[in-house]
Amino acid sequence: MILNHYPWWKNSLILLIVLIGLVYAAPIFFGDDPAVQISSANADTVIDQNTVTIIANRLHQAHLPYKQIDTQINQQKQSLLVRFNSEDLQLKGKELLEETLGENYLVALNLAAKTPNWLIAIGAIPMKLGLDLRGGVHLLMQVDVDSVIKQRVEGDLNSISSILRSERVRYTGITRLNNEGIRLQFRTTDTVAEALQVLTSKFPEFVWTKSDLTITGALQPAAIQQIRQDTLEQNMNTLRNRVNELGVSEAIVQQQGASRIAVDLPGVQDTAQAKSILGNTTSLEFHMVDVESDARNIVEGTAPIGTKLYYFEGEPVLLKSPVILRGSSITSARSGAGEDGQPDVEVRLGGGGEALFTKVTAENIGKPMAVLSVEIKPVTKIINGKKVTQFITQHKVISVANILQALGNSFQITHLSSQNEANTLALLLRAGALSAPLQVIEERELGPSLGKQNIKMGVTSVIVGLLLVVFFMAIYYRVMGVIADVALGLNLILIVAILSLLGATLTLAGIAGIVLTVGMAADANVLIFERIREELRNGMGVQASIHAGYERALVTIVDSNVTTLIVAVVLFSLGSGTVKNFAVTLTIGLLTSMFTAIIGTRAVVNALYGGRSIKKISIGI
């Protein structure tokens, strides 16, 4: 048996891992360009080569130099990225382009990676930097959960009415008591008993109590809490989808407290734009059009009971009040062109409500159906010297089309005016509607200069910590210490590569986790080297001492790292924000440090000393 010798395949595997780490860590060294991002503000605004020409000519006329103009396409949403050489030019460019392009375009500050295309082609993209490192926008939003509970009770009220009728249980009245309760009235005690049995079995989330000829139901506390949590989670998913669909910087969306959501948009420097994207509470509803009444004759009169008057493309349209499908039922939406070449949107359902939608459309073939956009905007008023937030609802009909056949789990929305309108409608359907209105109660903008200062401080802390460990190891353990120093550098490279591959976001807390893992990686080598020293002092041969040092210190190293790993998992599970980021980098650092400190250093030691007879090694004795 040859001691301290790795087979060729193991050395090749280690070299391959190092090479992959170097490739995927490389993008961080290329940096970013200050840039201005331009996207359309509405469905009718087109971004094409003519837009590029207008921007380029205007910048030349103003003698404002720029590096290049990139075209980006994200889920059929096209935008432009104008790169500049400095932040001063970036700010001047933003002001100039806002004035040139007008209100039909969104112009925002951003940062564009300078990574070569060949690296991007293999998935080697730059590691994301958090708000405290890159700068950007922070928004804290209050979720109006009570409105969802009220809507839930109203929906259950309709369902209860339908079920009691289908079970032939007669009632004289049904009303909503408050946001969380329902009251039903009956004529006889026998009917009360029948209704109570039906309600208890069909609606177990309510607590039902009877009193004479009345049954009262109230949502259970557990059901209310579940509605609150589901509302927050759905809103967070919708916010993530909206940011990703619109091509803005990667968002960090997380729950804060019982009814708030915190959103970080690293790299975005336009608070107004971020609020317009994320704070939009637009939802979609499908209604049947009332064709029995002439909408033109009702413009100045009163709409029939069960209908409401709206406008579509300047013409009045009368919609029936019942909602036959909500946007939350849509799981997929893609824009395209129908058989007649006209733009349409292909929709797929899967979120509930499909049965009612199929039933209603089957009964109304040949009749028009409308898609209604419902936007809830918060308005703050001063009442009795106090700020009171009220929510105003705005409705807009965005599509009217005839039903050609009974619609099931998939159908097309047609009669759209343009392909851009189809793209925008598909985007809203895919991203989903917020399940509850949001109000921005705190907004904070962190400039890129402060972010650069944080990066400088963070990198300085890593370098100082690394240099102190490097000097100590090299002086105290000589050649073996230098080997450990090489492993420390490799450890940092692997951490950056894995963070990039996972798409994780690095913050100041994450940098603290990296600094901690640098010390722990050195600690593992100290255990190994001290074990080797001990065996040499006991008179054991060099090869046997190296072998024993690595083999016998392994258990101690694994035990210490596993206990720290458990703590990191707990922090990740229970923490949020910066705590999670610290836990992520700590976990990755623990795994890479065990690889570099145990396998990596041993491969180098084997190459220098293994497989031959030697009497002395440089380990500081």
Q: Quick one: pLDDT at residue 19?
A: 93
Check pLDDT > 50 for residue 151: yes
Q: For 459-496, write each residue's pLDDT tens digit.
A: 788 788 888 888 888 888 888 889 988 998 899 899 98
Q: Quick one: pLDDT at residue 435?
A: 66
Q: Quick one: pLDDT at residue 60?
A: 92
Q: Quick one: pLDDT at residue 271?
A: 59
Q: What is 159-191 written as a DSSP string? A: HHHHHHHHTT---SEEEEEETTEEEEE-SSHHH
Span 536-547, average pLDDT: 86
Alpha-carbon 231 to chain mean position: 16
Confidence of residue 430 (pLDDT cuts 50, 70, 90): low
Q: How big is the CA angle at 268 (ends 264 and 273), to the nearest 5 degrees?
A: 95
Residue 485 contacts residue 515 (beta carbons within 8 Å): no
Choice among 87-91, 137-141, 176-180, 287-291 with the minimum mean pLDDT: 176-180
Q: Quick one: pLDDT at residue 43?
A: 55
Choice among 240-249, 405-414, 557-566 with the minimum mean pLDDT: 240-249
Check pLDDT > 60 for residue 507: yes
Q: What is the pTM of this model?
A: 0.59
Check pLDDT > 60 for residue 584: yes
32-114 folds as: Alpha-Beta Plaits (3.30.70)
What span, in angstroms and rounded, lies between the C-alpha atoms of 95 and 89? 10
Residue 384 contacts residue 293 (beta carbons within 8 Å): no
Alpha-carbon 406 to chain mean position: 36
Alpha-carbon 471 to chain mean position: 42
- Rounded to a whole number of angstroms, the distance between the first and last alpha carbons of the chain is 27
Q: Quick one: pLDDT at residue 243?
A: 67
Residue 462 contacts residue 492 (beta carbons within 8 Å): yes
What the block records as the tokens of 387 is: 């700020």
282-415 folds as: Gyrase A; domain 2 (3.30.1360)
Residue 593 contacts residue 495 (beta carbons within 8 Å): no
Check pLDDT > 60 for residue 309: yes
What span, in angstroms and rounded, lies between the C-alpha atoms of 80 and 40? 10
Q: What is the CA radius of gyration of the chain?
A: 32
> What are the C-alpha distances in Å from 472 to residues 304, 461, 477?
86, 17, 8
Alpha-carbon 247 to chain mean position: 12
CA dihedral (539, 541, 544, 545) positive or negative: positive
119-136 burial, b if ≥16 CB within 10 A, otherwise e?
beeeebebbbbbbbbbbb
Residues above pLDDT 90, as percent of the chain: 5
What span, in angstroms and rounded, lies between the C-alpha atoms of 347 and 351? 12
146-224 folds as: 3.30.1240
Q: Where are the domains of the chain?
A: 8-26+447-609, 32-114, 146-224, 282-415
Residue 600 DSSP code? I
Residue 249 contacts residue 114 (beta carbons within 8 Å): no
Identify residue 449 by its one-letter amino acid code. S
Q: Quick one: pLDDT at residue 494?
A: 92
Please indicate whether residue 85 or residue 150 has the higher confidence score (pLDDT): 85
Check pLDDT > 70 for residue 451: no
Is CATH 1.10.540.10 the right assignment for the domain spanning 8-26+447-609? no
Q: For 152-163, write each residue's pLDDT tens digit.
A: 787 777 778 878
Span 186-198, average pLDDT: 86
> What are the C-alpha distances in Å from 402 to residues 347, 369, 370, 424, 429?
16, 6, 9, 21, 20
What span, in angstroms and rounded, lies between the C-alpha atoms of 96 and 285? 39
DSSP strands (E only) in 222-356: 252-256, 260-266, 283-288, 307-312, 315-320, 325-326, 330-337, 343-349
Confidence of residue 49 (pLDDT cuts 50, 70, 90): confident
The continuous run of DSSP H or E covering 522 comes out as helix 508-537
Choice among 8-22, 377-391, 555-569 with the minimum mean pLDDT: 377-391
The continuous run of DSSP H or E covering 72 comes out as strand 68-74
Average pLDDT, the chain: 80
Check pLDDT > 60 for residue 76: no
Q: Quick one: pLDDT at residue 577?
A: 66
Check pLDDT > 60 for residue 343: yes
Residue 260 DSSP code? E
Span 422-442, average pLDDT: 69
Please indicate whether residue 352 or residue 158 has the higher confidence score (pLDDT): 158
Residue 471: how many other CB atoms lie within 10 Å: 12
Check pLDDT > 90 for residue 400: no
Confidence of residue 41 (pLDDT cuts 50, 70, 90): low
What the block records as the tokens of 79 is: 């935008």
Q: Quick one: pLDDT at residue 449?
A: 59
By DSSP bridging, strand 410-413 and strand 343-349 are: antiparallel
Residues above pLDDT 70, as percent of the chain: 85
Check pLDDT > 50 for residue 75: no
Span 267-280, average pLDDT: 60
Please indicate whether residue 242 or residue 261 has the higher confidence score (pLDDT): 261
Span 354-360, average pLDDT: 81
Span 188-209, average pLDDT: 86
Choice among 24-28, 82-86, 249-253 with the minimum mean pLDDT: 249-253
Q: For 79-125, write each residue's pLDDT tens digit.
A: 788 999 887 888 888 888 888 887 677 777 777 788 888 888 888 88
Q: Quick one: pLDDT at residue 276?
A: 60
